[in-house]
């Protein structure tokens, strides 16, 4: 029988509400399941994306699954910094998720490094200046992540309104599907 450390209460930074903090064992369990969760979000997004964007049929489904899974893992790792844990526990979670990702696909860690770099640059380049980002701040993250996804699926940036919509949609699906993965 697994014994968990007692949970303590903390005030959520985003909502301001009090909730129970998960034990490190619960976070480790989530870390071990982060890659399958990202993969599930990736595969479940393919059919709706194909319906809305026909040229996606030229992208092999295994490439779609790989790229969107890596994008999902990037988001999961990015969220670790906000967890109410000591630095050593956060590093442990990073290593657990990255080890699971390495077992998923041989190119996954290299893609993750590329994702980190490109998404961070795109996020900064997009800047908070656009009015739509003031109204919906998550769009900036979705656009930055979607930029990387589109770049890796098609070998170029999105051109035109339809392609930009697909990029935003893909980034948004990842954010919606994995945005609260660490909430216990």
Share of the chain above pLDDT 70, in %: 83
Q: What is the pLDDT of residues 99-141, one digit of tens each?
A: 999 999 999 999 999 999 998 888 787 776 665 655 666 777 8
Q: What is the pLDDT of residues 19-32, one digit of tens each?
A: 455 788 999 999 99
Mean pLDDT of all residues belonging to the chain: 84
What are the residue boundaries of the structural domains of the chain, listed by start? 22-178
pLDDT score recorded for residue 131? 58
Q: In the chain, what is the straight-line distance between the N-terminal and C-terminal CA atoms, in Å?
A: 20
**Average pLDDT rounded to a whole number, residues 81-109:** 95
Q: What span, in angstroms and rounded, lies between the C-alpha atoms of 142 and 4?
A: 35
Query: Alpha carbon of 146 to those of 7, 20, 41, 61: distances in Å?
Result: 36, 33, 14, 17
Q: Whole-model pTM?
A: 0.83
- Place 7 in a pLDDT band, splitting at 50, 70 and 90: very low
Q: What is the pLDDT of residues 42-54, one digit of tens each?
A: 999 999 988 988 8
């Amino acid at each position: 029988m697994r014994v968990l450390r007692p949970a303590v209460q903390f005030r959520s930074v985003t909502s301001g509400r009090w909730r129970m903090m998960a034990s490190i064992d619960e976070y480790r369990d989530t870390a071990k399941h982060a890659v399958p969760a990202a993969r599930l979000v990736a595969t479940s997004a393919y059919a709706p994306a194909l319906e809305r964007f026909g040229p996606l049929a030229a992208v092999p489904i295994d490439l779609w699954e790989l790229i969107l899974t890596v994008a999902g893992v990037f988001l999961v790792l990015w969220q670790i910094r906000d967890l109410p844990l000591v630095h050593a526990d956060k590093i442990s979670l990073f290593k657990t998720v990255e080890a699971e990702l390495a077992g998923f696909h041989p190119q996954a860690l290299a893609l993750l490094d590329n994702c980190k770099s490109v998404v961070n640059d795109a996020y900064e380049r997009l800047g908070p200046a656009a009015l739509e980002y003031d109204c919906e701040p998550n769009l900036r993250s979705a656009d930055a992540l979607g930029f990387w996804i589109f770049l890796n699926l098609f070998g170029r940036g999105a051109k035109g309104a339809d392609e930009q919509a697909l990029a935003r949609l893909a980034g948004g699906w990842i954010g919606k599907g994995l945005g609260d993965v660490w909430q216990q």
